[in-house]
Amino acid sequence: MEKIFLVLATRNRGKTAEIRKFLKDFPVEIKNLDDFGPIPEIEEDGKTFDDNAYKKASFAARILGIPALADDSGLVVEALGGAPGVYSARYAGESATDEENTAKLLKEMEGKENRAAAFECVISIAVPTGPALTYEARCEGEITTAPRGKNGFGYDPVFYYPPLKKTFAELSLEEKISVSHRGKAMAEVRNEFDKVIIWIKQRLAEAKPPKPEHSQSHG
Ligand code: IMP
């Protein structure tokens, strides 16, 4: 089967490797933004994960002229009215480190009895003309009172996952992917990827200008 191209709207090598692994059995050649020359930064100023995922995927698809996949994710804490949400990466300030964000979260959660939280992930697959497919998943857990574990990134050390009785930072990468928001969303993409390929091919064919009726080849 003829391969399709898909660009991941990220420069993150870990994410790229993870997604390549998920889609390794399909006729798809996966690139990321580092495979192309400099392109303008995409501002993640949407109000929802969905807005941001679509914004990143459609921008990359339009500017590069090939289908693109983007994900957007973050932590949603019940007792904080859904914060940090789309601000997860910059909760403690524009260029805050993971440690600073985690420390701010623990401070905001001081004295709170309701520790319920969820990681959410939205994946958007867009074609250059605009249409997109969306996949969503969440993973429920609780916010600890102190960091625990050394693996992972972001809020992993303070996100306790009751079914495995560990924080995300105490899980191996394989264990985390099998239960995490991103892992579940990617598994859904993989389960439907045969149909996604057909959908992409149809959208690309629609976008091609129709051939003139009596076209002749001159060599
Ligand atoms: P991104 O959309 O994947 O770039 O994630 C945005 C922010 O959400 C990250 O900077 C982290 O703070 C947080 N986040 C998303 N996924 C995870 C995760 O799996 N573990 C810990 N933090 C995460």
Tell me the per-residue pLDDT of 60-95, one tens digit each, with 9 for 90 and over: 999 999 999 999 999 999 999 999 999 999 999 999
Strand partners, 155: none
**Per-domain residue ranges for the chain?**
4-206
Architecture per CATH, 4-206 = Alpha-Beta Complex (3.90)
pTM recorded for the entire structure: 0.92
Per-residue CA distances from 65 to 54, 91, 123, 132 (Å): 16, 34, 19, 14
Ligand 1 centroid to residue 127 C-alpha, Å: 25
**N-terminal to C-terminal alpha carbon distance within the chain:** 28
**Which amino acids are annotated catalytic?**
72
Token couple for 116: 């319920």
Tell me the per-residue pLDDT of 146-198, one tens digit each, with 9 for 90 and over: 999 999 999 999 999 999 999 999 999 899 999 999 999 999 999 999 999 99
Contact 138, 116 (CB under 8 A): no
Best of 15, 42, 52, 73 for a ligand 1 pocket test (most atoms within 8 Å of beta carbon):
73
Q: What are phi and psi of 169, to 5 degrees?
A: -75, -5
